[in-house]
A and B are shown apart, each in its own frame.
Chain A
Amino acid sequence: DAEITQSPRHKITETGRQVTLACHQTWNHNNMFWYRQDLGHGLRLIHYSYGVQDTNKGEVSDGYSVSRSNTEDLPLTLESAASSQTSVYFCASSEGRGGTGELFFGEGSRLTVL
């Protein structure tokens, strides 16, 4: 079965370190998204991509970057981790264009920045 997997599922790091969260999907979807989930804020969009070599900034992109070198993967990098980036991160993908397709979510990556 097709799926979307995130790794690591849990990570503890220190302020100032670079962190990369991996996202791999086997749905062959063109569209991929990264969200962070925080209490009281719901899910907020960090970055998104509509295809290979395409990346776009979401509502809360400061301090994060992504790259899309193939269809399957959209890794999220925190260049210099900050305590404010402690959160649960979700990767999602969807098919088609125009925003009509539902999102398929990974299980999440819980990041703690000390």
Chain B
Amino acid sequence: AQSVAQPEDQVNVAEGNPLTVKCTYSVSGNPYLFWYVQYPNRGLQFLLKYITGDNLVKGSYGFEAEFNKSQTSFHLKKPSALVSDSALYFCAVSDGASGTYKYIFGTGTRLKVLA
């Protein structure tokens, strides 16, 4: 069965510093990996995805993520954090080989960027 782990409930970072939000996954086939962001009282918004190809994926709002197959990780990164990046971030995976492609989410990581 597919699963996603986000080991940190909250990440605090100072504005202007680089940020990393961690995600590890488990699937039986090829992983399709996604990051979403949620602002208060809103639905989730898509940030970026890895399907195949280059391990470094660039997405919206200056975010990027690195796919590491050997470590089964897909960490979200940004070189310089903004206060407006403060939000709840979710990693998700779908299993490319399962035939029943359902999207499974992690428990979320709250990012707080301090001015």
Q: What residues of chain A have their CB less than 8 Å away from a CB belonging to chain B?
A: 33, 35, 40-45, 48, 56, 58-59, 90, 92, 94, 97-100, 102-108
Contacts and interface: CB of A to CB of B under 8 A. Distances in A.
A60 B8 CA distance: 24
Interface stretch (B10-18, B69-77, B78-86, B90-98): B90-98
Q: Which 9 residue pairs of A and B lie closest in terms of their CB atoms, listed nearest first?
A: A99-B101, A99-B94, A105-B43, A42-B107, A43-B105, A102-B46, A105-B44, A42-B108, A107-B43
22 contacts: A42-B105, A43-B105, A43-B108, A48-B102, A59-B104, A90-B44, A92-B43, A92-B103, A97-B101, A99-B94, A99-B95, A99-B96, A99-B98, A100-B32, A100-B49, A100-B96, A102-B34, A102-B49, A103-B34, A105-B44, A106-B43, A107-B43
Pick the most buried of A41, A44, A100: most chain B CB atoms within 10 A of its CB: A100
Contacts of B95: 99
Contacts of B103: 33, 45, 92, 94, 99, 103
Contacts, number: 67
Please classify how large the interface on chain B is, using the bins under 10, 10 to 19, 20 to 34, 35 or more.
Answer: 20 to 34
A15 to B, nearest CB: 26
Contacts of A108: 41-43
Interface of B: 6, 32, 34, 36, 41-46, 49, 51, 90, 92, 94-96, 98, 100-108
A58 B95 CA distance: 14
Nearest to B42: A107
A104 B6 CA distance: 21
Contacts of A106: 43
A86 B108 CA distance: 19
Pick the most buried of A42, A44, A94: most chain B CB atoms within 10 A of its CB: A42
A45 B102 CA distance: 8
